[in-house]
Amino acid sequence: MQKATLVGIDLGKNTFHLHGQDQHGHQVLRKKISRDQLMTFCAELPTCTIVMEACVGAHFMAREFSALGHRVKLISPQFVRPFVKGSKNDFVDAEAICEAASRPSMRFVCPKNESQQALSALHRVRQSLLDDRVRTGNQIHAFLLEFGVTLPRSFNLAKLLPSVLASRPVPRSMATLLTQLHAHFIYLRAQIMKVEKEILAQLKFDELGQRLLTIPGIGPITASALTSELGDGRQFACGRDFAAWLGLVPRQHSTGGKTILVGIGPGTGKPLRTLLILCARSYMLIAHRQSGPLAEWVRALMLRRTNNVVACAVANKLARIAWAVASRNSRFEPQSSSHKQRCSNVKS
């Protein structure tokens, strides 16, 4: 145990499995421990590198272990799975984590701080509420259609549904059910607005979020999502890597020296990718009124490509700009004269 330089921890709810290796990769630690004993045990360990999968509780543990003086690394579970040897169990998983971390080309996940985790949780709750609202609205439309009542897609359910139920011959039991769904729809809308207000309140005190708002097309919701997922951006070597992580670059199926591109995706940050594409579409609508190299590039692209292709290309560009703003502690310069968008250093 005194010679352990790399410790892999398989996280659990109540118990944790540890696998330690020395500098030569030989096993020197194999231990099952409870949650109450984990921090005490790690505090007694000589300073080493602790590696975990980036799953539930990993970011909290990373902050706790870093406070004890250890170096902490997080790995995406999909990169650990190929290193599992034989039958799967918790100790084998801990060993696989160490094996994956020892690879020089391995990519790691940057641990989140408390503010980033809180913002990420708010965005997940907001997305869940949005999905529920869409599901409830679709259900109301479908039930009405079963009784011959058709509503346009742009119909304002929150305001006009009671008048429709009063004027159309719908059975009383179905009208009662639709009234309950209508109340649930209004409740979901109110909860979404409440969550968005909380996101905006937190964004006001976030220095990175305020700098991301200087990027054209990016609003408060997307800026806060970038803050929670991107952080300082140093887990990515360049903006292209961040765009690829989001799934905004074509996938490859190349072989024999022949490059074959098969469309974008799937990526890891799908919700954030959706937000960036929406930001790109909003910027495309006002690009004719904008000036600067970015606007000129977007206008030229719109003349020779379809809207969907342009939206993905602009989203890719916005992702790269966001990475530059985050990693270089800078702001966006809309009037930069260079072909590439430059960022000016923030004056202290």
Helix (H, G, I), strand (E, B) or coil at 332: strand
* Ranges 84-93, 102-111, 203-212, 247-256: which has the least confidence: 247-256
What pLDDT band is residue 206 in, cutting at 50, 70 and 90? confident
d(CA 310, CA 316) in angstroms, rounded, equals 10
Could you state, in order of their start, the residue ranges of all structural domains in the chain?
6-101, 114-204, 217-337
Q: Does domain 6-101 have CATH number 3.20.20.70?
A: no
So what's the pLDDT on residue 336? 57
CA distance 131 to 198: 19
pLDDT: is 261 or 50 the higher one? 50
Tens digits of residue pLDDT in 86-98? 888 899 999 999 9
DSSP assignment of 24-79 equals TS-EEEEEEEEHHHHHHHHHHSPS-EEEEESSTTHHHHHHHHHHTT-EEEEE-HHH
**Residue range 205-227: average pLDDT?**
91
For 246-273, what is the mean pLDDT?
Answer: 78
Confidence of residue 348 (pLDDT cuts 50, 70, 90): very low
User: Among 138, 166, 163, which residue's Cα sits nearest to residue 153?
Assistant: 138
Distance in angstroms (rounded) separating the CA atoms of residues 336 and 300: 18
pLDDT of residue 300 exceeding 90, the answer is yes
Average pLDDT of span 314-318: 93
The residue behind tokens 């989140």 is 112
pTM of the model: 0.82
109, two tokens = 């996940």
| Statement: residue 265 has pLDDT above 70 | no
